[in-house]
Structure 1
C-alpha cells in the first residue's frame, strides 16, 4: 500500500470532488483517478460511489478513512522524530568530565546553556579521569569529554582535542607555610617539599604534568600523601601535611587556612580541552562543541 495513494484517498474523501481534490494535491485528475483505482484493486473493495455528478464514500471507504488518517499521522510523527534526532533536538549526549573541570565557571554555564537550548536531549554526566575519558571516547562509550591531555596515554588518531581554557597551575599550601611570605615562587623552590598528589595510577593529567615539570628541573616530587578527589587534596593541604600543585579552578574550594599562589614560571600552565571523535555525525555533539567554544 503506497503512502501517496492513502494521501490521495484522504483528500478525495474530504473533498468528495475530483477536480477540487486534484487542485488541492497539485496534480491533474487522471493520476488521482488511477491512484484511487489502484488502491481499490489492492484492497479488493470499492471506496467511492461515483456518478457523473457526485462522489460519495462507500461503507468500505468510511472504514478506511480513520485508519488512513491514523497511518498518515504516524508517518508524519515518524518524520518529525527523525528530523528532531538528526537536528539534535532529542536523543542523548554522554559527557565525560574531570573532577577539577567541574569546578570551572565554564562547566555550569555550558551545561545550563545546553540544557536550555536542547531541553529534550538527555545529558549523561560521567566523572572520569582524562585517561579514562580518552579510552571511553575511543570505545564510543562517551560522546564528548572535558579533559586535560595526559602524557602517559597515547592519543587515538580518531579523536579531536580543542583547547577550551588555559589556566595557571597554582601552589596550594597552609597559610603558615614559609613560602607564603616569598615575593616570588618558582617550581624549583619546591624541591624537597612534601607534596600531596593524585595517585600516579589514577590517570590524572595534572599529576603527570607536575611530575614532568619537576623532572625538567631535576627533581621528583616528594609525595607524602595521595588523594583521589580535588576537595580532599585541598582539605589535606589545610592540615599542613604538604603542598599541592592544582589548576586555578580549584581556588573555588575555599577552605580556611589554605593559600593559593601563582608560580613565576612560564610553563606552569594547564589546558582544559574538549574532545570528541573525528567526523562524528551526531549533531548533538557538534552543537555541544560549538556552544562550548562560544562560551569559553
Structure 2
C-alpha cells in the first residue's frame, strides 16, 4: 500500500490520537464524534496492514508501528500545509516573480520610484525585476512573455492585439535648448518655429515612442525635422543639447537631468504632450500584474 493513496484526513486523526492517547479528547479536539475517529483509525490500519494502537478499556498506547508512522505522518501533513500555503500565496500574488519594463525617461518621473517602492513594500516576497527597454521593445517582450508589465508610451503604429495599455499620466513635451540659443528667451514658442532648427533625437531604429511622436507632430505642421545628431540615452541627448548642436523635444520628466547651459521651454501647441501607459497582456491571470496595475493607478 503506497502513501499516495493514504487518506490525509486519516493521517490527521492518527496524529491527534497519538498525541492525546484518548479517543474522547481526540474527538473533541477534532470536532467529531468518537465513532468516525475509530472508523478512520481502523481504515488507516487496514491500509497499512499494521496495528497502530494498543486499545484497552482503560488506555490507548502506540504500537511500534504507530511510533514509526508518527514522525512521517507529521512530516507529510506539514508538507501538505506548506504546499497549500505556497499555492495560496502564488494565487494571491504574495510570492513569485514580476518582470517590469520601463523606459529611460519614465524612470526619471516622480511616479516611478514611488510605484516601485510601494509595490516592494506591499509585496516583499515578490522578486521584482526591472528591465530598461524602449517602448516598442517592451510591447514585443510583453507579447512574447519576456515581460509581465511595462511602463511605456504608445507607438504611433498602434498597439499589438492581445495587449492592454492604460494611461497613467500625461505630461508636456518640452523644448530642450542651449541657454544661449535664440529660442531660450523667446516669449512664445510653437513647434512650427523649429522648422529650420537642427534636431538631436533618438535613433529611429531604437523604438522610442517620443521620437515617433516628434516626427508625427512635425509632419502635421508640414515639415520633417532635420536630425543632425542621434543619442541613445536621455542624459546624452540633454548633454548634447548643451553643445548647441541642435534642439530636442523631451518629456517634461527629463527636466530632472540638470545640465549646465540647457534650458527647457514650454511649447504653445496643445497637442505637444505625451502619455505614459502601463501595459500588460489581455486577460493575464497573474495576480501580481493586476496588483501592480491597480497600485500604479492608485498613486496618481
Equivalent position to 1:88, from 81, 84, 93: 93
Provide the secondary structure at the position in 1 that maps to 2:74. helix
- Kindly indicate whether residue 10 of structure 2 is the aligned counterpart of residue 10 of structure 1: no
Provide the secondary structure at the position in 2 that maps to 1:27. coil
Give 1:127-206 correspondences, 5 Å limit.
Answer: 127-152=132-157, 154-206=158-210
* RMSD value, Cα: 0.9
Residue deviations 1:83-127, cap 9 Å, x none?
Answer: 111111111000000111000010011111111111111111111
Equivalent position to 1:211, from 208, 215, 221: 215
- Kindly indicate whether residue 65 of structure 2 is the aligned counterpart of residue 60 of structure 1: yes
Who is 2:32 aligned against? Answer: 27
Who is 1:248 aligned against? Answer: 252
Post-superposition offset of 1:157: 2.5
Q: Say how many residue pairs are matched.
A: 295
Give 1:26-45 correspondences, 5 Å limit.
Answer: 26-45=31-50
Who is 1:295 aligned against? Answer: 299
Who is 2:78 aligned against? Answer: 73
Residue deviations 1:247-273, cap 9 Å, x none?
Answer: 000000000000100100000000000
Post-superposition offset of 1:155: 1.5
Instruction: State how far apart, in whole Å, the 2-side matches of 1:26 and 1:181 are.
Output: 82
TM-score (norm 2): 0.97
Who is 1:257 aligned against? Answer: 261
Instruction: State how far apart, in whole Å, the 1-side matches of 2:235 and 2:75 are.
Output: 57
- Kindly indicate whether residue 280 of structure 2 is the aligned counterpart of residue 276 of structure 1: yes
Post-superposition offset of 1:181: 2.0
Post-superposition offset of 1:179: 0.7
Who is 2:3 aligned against? Answer: none
Provide the secondary structure at the position in 1 that maps to 2:258. coil
227-236 vs 49-58, greater mean Cα deviation: 49-58
Instruction: State how far apart, in whole Å, the 1-side matches of 2:293 and 2:168 are.
Output: 10
- Structure 2 residue runs of 5 or longer lacking an equivalent are 1-5
TM-score (norm 1): 0.98
205-214 vs 115-124, greater mean Cα deviation: 115-124
Who is 1:108 aligned against? Answer: 113
Instruction: State how far apart, in whole Å, the 2-side matches of 1:277 and 1:183 are.
Output: 45
